[in-house]
């Protein structure tokens, strides 16, 4: 079977937005939201507090996002929900009124598409919420509810709020506010498929699927793909899978997953012993122990062999998300680590994703601290921002960095060097994570050219026949063309 993935994803740079925290607009606020009980915008976020960010605010920020070089946005959930993160869905057909409702999404989609930017939404299809109408009916009417078989009811009575009593229904991770759907029920399956179709017809460009591995119903994700692709053959389907995802990346289900395996390897290599362990010891997340260059090369090579190349090119690569502590906090404030991690991110096959604020050095610990508001310009780290802009520009200007072959040239001690090649376009990327300058000689006989133009970073380079002599300063990296 020939695997097909959306071509645009191979050329995309994503920006992940947590809507409540990115930007708050005064535009078109409904009268009943004018005096809502919001936390101070710049206060440390809490588990249940709202900041009032909305889609109008994102619309007003499109110039900034596009100026980064970004051409795709992934939103964490936007549908009506009784939680600031909106993973507790009340109504899958209504954008939350606090975010501006369906009208705000309509205008945002149109504006994004006019700029050739794509928009991917978060599909929370494993579970709903206590306030979801169908589950609420079960709470009111018990075994008489028409929707009783939509959920996994184990006994009566149900106890959705009292933790001292058995819940008597299955919920995600045992969290009572998140009742799990019974996906074996044909009506549930059809309901979810129709939601996916509805928003694709509305104009979104794909779905990021929340905890899709929890849905065990045979054929579910195969049918989901067929129905998504029948409406938009270029619609992107990306699953939240933190581990080996071969089970879902066979070409019949997802186009890619959130590439936490790449994330973990990069942090373990670049940040290494600087990692603040309490910021990462949770969530099946292992960017530790530290890796040397050879160990990193082994992990990267095995990762590149894990999935078909067509799938590799549409993986969603990331250094952080709303589920992890912020990169700069994990790295104990070490800015050089942040810059080197991004050098590896933007030169790797697959679509790089920036978690809003990371590009200006926004710190943050575990949830909810990793969901701070986007800072005012006076608090931006301009150096980190410029590094992001440089690397995104290079990726956008050199197709080899997006779809070119990936070849490891050298990996020893603290130095890792690889090539991205596409026809006669060849780039060499070198990283030295060590605290001392190092000179290495690399056999480049497999390359047609002798790249000697420094596009990024600095170092001393000289060629002798097919061997490149490269001196890389401590804690730095460079790109040669």
Tokens encoding 131: 């306030």
Residue 367 dihedral angles phi and psi, to the nearest 5°: -50, 130
Residues 6+ apart with CB under 8 A from 298: none
Nearest to 257, CA basis, from 355, 350, 125: 350
Q: 403 near 6, Cβ under 8 Å? A: no
Q: How far apart are CA 385 and CA 257, in angstroms?
A: 26
Residues 6+ apart with CB under 8 A from 186: none
What does each C-alpha distance from 323 to 282, 319, 361, 366, 369 come to in angstroms?
Answer: 10, 11, 17, 8, 10
Within 13 Å, how many C-alpha atoms sit on residue 310's CB side? 13
Within 13 Å, how many C-alpha atoms sit on residue 432's CB side? 18
Q: How far apart are CA 204 and CA 108, in angstroms?
A: 10
Residue in the block written with tokens 């610990």: 365
Quick check: helix, strand or coil at residue 123?
A: strand
Q: How far apart are CA 275 and CA 223, in angstroms?
A: 42
Q: 447 near 463, Cβ under 8 Å? A: no
Quick check: helix, strand or coil at residue 381?
A: coil
Q: Tell me which of 54, 96, 210, 323 is the catalytic residue.
A: 210
Q: How far apart are CA 210 and CA 400, in angstroms?
A: 31
Q: How far apart are CA 393 and CA 76, in angstroms?
A: 26
Catalytic: 201? Answer: no
Q: 236 near 206, Cβ under 8 Å? A: yes
Instruction: Name the region of 101 (left: φ>0; alpha: ψ -120 to 50; beta: rest).
Output: left
Radius of gyration of the chain (CA): 23
Tokens encoding 320: 């952080």
Quick check: helix, strand or coil at residue 461?
A: strand
DSSP state of 378: G
Q: Tell me which of 96, 240, 359, 426 is the catalytic residue.
A: 240
Quick check: helix, strand or coil at residue 10?
A: helix
Catalytic: 240? Answer: yes
Angle between helix 335-346 and helix 260-270 axes, rounded to 10 deg: 140
Instruction: Name the region of 206 (left: φ>0; alpha: ψ -120 to 50; beta: rest).
Output: left
Catalytic residues: 210, 240
């Amino acid at each position: 079977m020939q695997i097909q993935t959306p071509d645009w994803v191979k050329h995309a740079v994503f920006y992940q937005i947590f809507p409540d925290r990115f930007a708050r607009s005064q535009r078109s606020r409904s009268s009943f939201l004018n005096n809502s009980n919001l936390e101070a915008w710049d206060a440390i976020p809490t588990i249940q507090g709202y900041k009032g960010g909305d889609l109008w605010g994102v619309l007003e920020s499109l110039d900034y996002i596009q100026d980064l070089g970004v051409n795709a946005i992934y939103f964490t959930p936007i549908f009506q929900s009784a939680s600031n993160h909106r993973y507790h869905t009340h109504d899958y057909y209504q954008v939350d009124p606090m975010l501006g409702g369906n009208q705000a999404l309509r205008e945002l989609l149109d504006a994004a598409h006019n700029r050739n930017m794509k928009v991917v939404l978060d599909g929370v299809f494993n579970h709903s919420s206590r306030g979801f109408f169908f589950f609420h009916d079960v709470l009111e009417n018990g075994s008489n509810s028409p929707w009783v078989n939509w959920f996994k009811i184990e006994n009566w009575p149900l106890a959705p709020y009292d933790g001292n009593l058995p819940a008597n229904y299955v919920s995600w991770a045992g969290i009572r506010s998140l009742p799990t759907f019974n996906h074996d029920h044909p009506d549930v399956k059809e309901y979810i498929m129709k939601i996916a179709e509805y928003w694709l017809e509305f104009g979104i460009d794909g779905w990021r699927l929340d905890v899709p591995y929890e849905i065990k119903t045979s054929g579910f994700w195969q049918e989901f793909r067929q129905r998504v692709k029948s409406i938009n053959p270029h619609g992107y389907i990306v699953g939240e899978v933190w581990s080996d995802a071969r089970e879902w990346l066979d070409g019949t289900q997802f186009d890619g997953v959130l590439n936490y395996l790449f994330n973990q390897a990069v942090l373990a290599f670049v940040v290494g012993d600087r990692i603040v362990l309490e910021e990462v010891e949770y969530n099946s997340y292992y960017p530790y122990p530290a890796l040397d260059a050879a160990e990193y090369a082994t992990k990267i090579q095995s990762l590149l062999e894990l999935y078909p190349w067509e799938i590799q090119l549409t993986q969603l690569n990331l250094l952080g998300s709303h589920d992890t502590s912020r990169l700069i906090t994990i790295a104990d404030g070490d800015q050089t680590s942040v810059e080197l991690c991004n050098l590896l991110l933007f030169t790797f096959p697959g679509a790089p994703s920036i978690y809003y604020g990371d590009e200006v050095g926004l710190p943050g610990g575990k949830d909810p601290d990793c969901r701070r508001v986007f800072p005012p310009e006076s608090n931006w780290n301009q150096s980190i921002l410029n590094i992001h802009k440089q690397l995104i520009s290079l990726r956008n200007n050199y197709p080899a960095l997006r779809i070119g072959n990936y070849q490891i040239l050298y990996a020893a001690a603290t130095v890792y060097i690889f090539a991205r090649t596409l026809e006669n376009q060849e780039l060499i990327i070198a990283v030295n994570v060590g605290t001392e300058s190092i000179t290495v000689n690399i056999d480049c006989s497999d390359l047609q050219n002798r790249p000697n133009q420094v596009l990024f970073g600095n170092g001393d380079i000289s060629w002798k026949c097919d061997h490149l002599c490269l001196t890389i300063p401590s804690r730095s990296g460079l790109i040669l063309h």
